[in-house]
Structure 1
Amino acid sequence: MEVSMKGTRLVRSFFFLALFAATMLPTAVLGQTTTWTTNGYKVLKNGTPFFMKGVDYAPVPIGAVPDNSPYGDYFTPNQAAFFNRDIPAMRDMGVNCIRLYAGSPANSANYGDFLNALYNGGDRPIYVIMTSFINAGDMLNASAVAGYVNDYTTMAQNLKNYPAVMGFSIGNELNSGGSIDSPDFWANMDKIAAAVRTNAPDKLTIVAMVDDGNDTLKAGIGKIPHIMCWGLNVYRGPDWGGTGNNIFTQYGQLTASDVKPLIITEYGTPASTRQNPGGESTDIILLPNNAQAQGDFLVTQWQGMAANADSSTQVSCGGMIFDWVDEWWKAGNPSLHDPGPNNAYQGGAFAGGYWDEEWFGINGVTTGSPGTLEPRAAITSLKTEWSKTSHDGSEIYGNTTAAIAGSVSAINSVVIEEE
Structure 2
Amino acid sequence: MKNNFLRLILFLFTTVVFAQVNQVSVVSNSEGMKLVVNGEDFMINGMNWDYIPIGTNTVNADFWNKSDDVIKAALDTEMSLLKNMNVNVIRQYTGVPAKWIQYIYENYGIYTMLNHSFGRYGLTLDGVWTPVTKYSEARTQEFLMAEVENLVNGYKNTPGLLLYLLGNENNYGLFWAGAETEDFPDSEEEKKFIGESRGKYDV
What is residue 149 of structure 1 aligned with on the other side? 145
The reply on whether 1:89 has 2:104 as its aligned counterpart is no
Matched, 1:131 2:99: no
Give the corresponding residue for 2:102. Answer: 116
Gaps of 5+ in 2: 1-19, 121-131, 177-191
Q: How far apart, CA to CA, are the structure 2 residues paired with 1:98 and 1:162?
A: 15
The C-alpha deviation readout for 1:177-198, integer Å capped at 9, x for no partner, is 2269838x99xxxxxxxxxxxx
Distance 1:166 1:103, change over 3 A: same
The structure with more radius of gyration:
1
In 2 relative to 1, CA 88–56 (structure 1 residues): closer, same or farther, beyond 3 Å?
same
Q: How far is the alpha carbon of 1:116 from its aligned partner? A: 2.0
The alpha carbon displacement at 1:51 in A equals: 0.3
> In 2, distance between residues paired with 1:84 and 1:152?
30
Are the structure 2 counterparts of residues 135 and 82 from structure 1 closer, same or farther at C-alpha, using a change threshold of 3 Å?
farther
- Contact conserved, 1:132 with 1:151, CA < 8 A, in 2? no
For residues 392-403 of structure 1, the aligned pairs below 5 Å read none
Cα distance change on mapping 1:144 and 1:173 into 2, 3 Å:
same
**Selected match of 2:46 from 41, 54, 78:** 54
Distance 2:43 2:170 in 1: 25
Question: Within the alignment, does 1:38 sit opposite 2:33 as a pair?
Answer: no
Report the CA distance shift for 1:75/1:95 in structure 2 as closer, same or farther (over 3 A): farther
Query: What TM-score, normalized to structure 2?
Result: 0.59
Supply the distance in 1 between the matched residues of 2:142 and 2:61 (Cα, whole angstroms).
24
- When the two chains are superposed, the root-mean-square deviation of aligned CA atoms in Å is 3.3
Q: Which residues in structure 2 correspond to 1:166-205 (within 5 Å)?
A: 166-178=162-174, 182=193
Distance (Å, rounded) in 2 between the aligned partners of 1:52 and 1:39:
15
Change (3 A) 1:152 1:64: same
Aligned equivalents of 1:69, 1:39: Cα separation in 2: 38
CA displacement 1:114-146 (0-9 Å, x = unmatched): 11222126xx51111102334433142544443
- For structure 1, the residue ranges without an aligned partner over 5 or more in a row are 1-31, 187-214, 220-419
Partner of 2:94: 103
Larger helix proportion of the pair: 2
1-side partners of 2:101 and 2:22: how far apart?
13
Cross-structure match for 1:257: none
CA–CA distance in structure 2, aligned partners of residues 139 and 46 of structure 1 = 39
| Contact 1:127–1:165 (CA under 8 A) maintained in structure 2 | yes
What amino acid sits opposite 1:39 in the alignment?
V
Residue identity over aligned pairs, in percent, reads: 19
CA deviations on 1:286-318 (whole Å, 9 max, x unpaired) are xxxxxxxxxxxxxxxxxxxxxxxxxxxxxxxxx
